[in-house]
Structures are given as C-alpha cells and as structure tokens.
Amino acid sequence: MLDPKPAPRLRNAMSIDVEDYFQVSAMAPYIRRADWDACECRVERNVNRILQLLADTQVHATFFTLGWIAERYPQLVKSIVAQGHELASHGYGHERASDLDRDALRQDLTRAKALLEDLGGVEVIGYRAPSFSIGKNNLWAFDVLQETGHRYSSSVYPIAHDHYGMPDSPRFAYEVRPGLLEIPVTTVRMGSRNLPSSGGGYFRLLPYGISNWLISRVNRVDGESAVFYFHPWEIDPEQPRVQGIDAKTRFRHYVNLPRTEARIARLLRDFAWGRMDEIFLGRTLSAPAAAVAATGVQS
C-alpha cells in the first residue's frame, strides 16, 4: 500500500512594518516629530533590499506602510504593489492608536488609506496600529476601523509587555466586529503564559533555532498559520546611532542588527509564507500583480 501523501505545509503570514529607525515609538522621547524631515532616511534602500530578498525566495508578503513614508517615496509603494505584495496601512504618522481619540484616529486612518490607495492603485483593507496599540482601554478603535472601510486589523499582541499587549485576548484570528477580523501576531502558549514568537526584537535577541521551533509549534500543535513581522531598519546595522537614549532602548533597538538579514533569509527558506489577505481572507493577487508575479518581472 502506498503511503499517504504528506499534508501540505501551512502557509504563514510574512509582514513588514514600513517605518524608519527614527520613527520607532521608543525613540519618541529623543527625536521630535518635527525633526523627522531632518533625519537621514534609510527606508527606501532597506525596503528595496527586502523586496529583493522576497523575490529571491519567491515569497509574497504584506507591507504595513506609513503614509508619511508613502508620501515621500511614492515609487516604493508602486514597487511593493508591482511585485505582487499586499499594500496595507500602518497609519499616517506612526501615532499610537492609544494616544488618539476617535476623531483623530479616524482622520489618521482615512488620510493614510486614501494616500496609499491613490499611489498603489489597489484597495487597502488591512491596518496594523503602531506599537500594537489597540488594547483593553481603546477597543472602540475597532469601530473606527470598520467605519473607515478596513476589513482586518493586526494590532493586538496577546502578551504582557511594558509598552503594549493584551494577554487575555484570543491568540488567533477572530471576528472582532461584523466584517472585521483581528489577526494577532503570533504567540506560543506555555503553561499560563503567552510567549512572543512572531518577530521584532525577540527574533533578534533569541537564537534562530528557538524562533524556528516556536513557529513550528504553532503550525504543528495549534494547526494555525503564524504571523511574523519585522521592520526595514532591523536589517540595517549601519543606520545612524541615536545619541542620548537610555540603556534599555539602546539594547532593544540595536541588539543583533548585523545578524538579522541572514536570519530573515533563512526563515523565508524554512517555512511557507504568504500575504495576510490571502491567508486569512482568501483573497488572491489582483490581475496586474499576478501577471507580474508570474513573469518574475521587477519594476
């Protein structure tokens, strides 16, 4: 008797939060928003490196993009779409959803969505709040997302953390409002705690084998697709060093930057990946993007 065919690998969601090093929330006490335009911007070169990395491994991903970046680098937005990736929103100016009231959040979401759609020529249905800043004290943000035409959010991190987190929230995708999904970044349940297993500083800090095991466990034990994220500045060890920052911020931001790009490349090879909208909403590539992806033509 022939052995049954092995079950296909689960596809996991690869996502990139498109912001530059000086826009990180932890840097806010040290770099004024009014000074952003005076900072050396490195996001374009870093995103182009990521696009090449994804092309080399034939992976499509979701780019949660700041409107502030899109406004200054419109060709970057066009390249993301042309190469078959999902264009999603990270808000306009990297303001935490928890720092805004309803009207201010609505204006931020509407401004970013309209700008991205105009530049990318595609509908923007996804949003990730800066610093995962939707929590138990501003659940009304989901109402605003629904009102502004978004179909999913990836804004909740179900862990305990000093800057964000809602550890009692569901670990996997759920309908948080009619027609609106919340797709949390991935955790592994160990005992009574959720452990982070989806990227960011933890991916840079921990040995690669641990991150690989955590994602494998979610696929194998939970039977769920993982959601992984990283930032363009995390593959850029030569970025300008911000002066005067406290020791915790320095460690979190700069730890293992020289190793991250190689680790990302290995992760892309070790697992099956796709876009957030394809995996969780069953959407397929738009016809123009699908044609580009099929031919391998890069813009």
Which candidate, 19, 128, 130, places its Cα nearest to that of 66?
Answer: 19
**160: in domain:** yes
Q: What is the mean pLDDT of each run of 10 residues along the chain (299 residues)?
A: 54 98 94 96 98 98 98 98 98 96 98 98 98 94 98 90 73 95 92 84 93 95 96 98 94 95 97 98 55 35
CATH number, domain containing residue 171: 3.20.20.370
Q: Which pLDDT value is given to residue 164? A: 64
Domain residue limits at 243: 11-294
**5: in domain:** no
Number of domains in the chain: 1
Q: Which pLDDT value is given to residue 130? A: 96
Q: Which pLDDT value is given to residue 54? A: 98
The dihedral through the CA atoms of 54, 61, 90, 210 has a sign that is negative
Q: How many CB atoms lie within 10 A of CB 8?
A: 7
| CA pair distance 78, 61, nearest whole angstrom | 15
**3: in domain:** no
Between the alpha carbon of residue 42 and those of residues 18, 19, 137, 157, 263, the distances in Å are: 11, 10, 34, 27, 20
**4: in domain:** no
**121: in domain:** yes
Tokens 């993301």, residue located: 80
Q: Which pLDDT value is given to residue 291? A: 36
**6: in domain:** no
Name the pTM for this structure. Answer: 0.91
**108: in domain:** yes
SS (H, E, C) the chain: CCCCCCCCCCEEEEEEEECCHHHCHHHCCCCCHHHHHHCCCCHHHHHHHHHHHHHHHCCCCEEEECHHHHHHCHHHHHHHHHCCCEEEECCCCCCCHHHCCHHHHHHHHHHHHHHHHHHHCCCCCEECCHHHCCCCCCCCHHHHHHHCCCCEECCCCCCCCCCCCCCCCCCCCEEEECCEEECCCCEEEECCEEEECCEHHHHHHCCHHHHHHHHHHHHHHHCCCCEEEECHHHHCCCCCCCCCCCHHHHHHHHCCHHHHHHHHHHHHHHCEEECHHHHHHCCCCCHHHHHHHHHCCCC
| CA pair distance 295, 247, nearest whole angstrom | 48
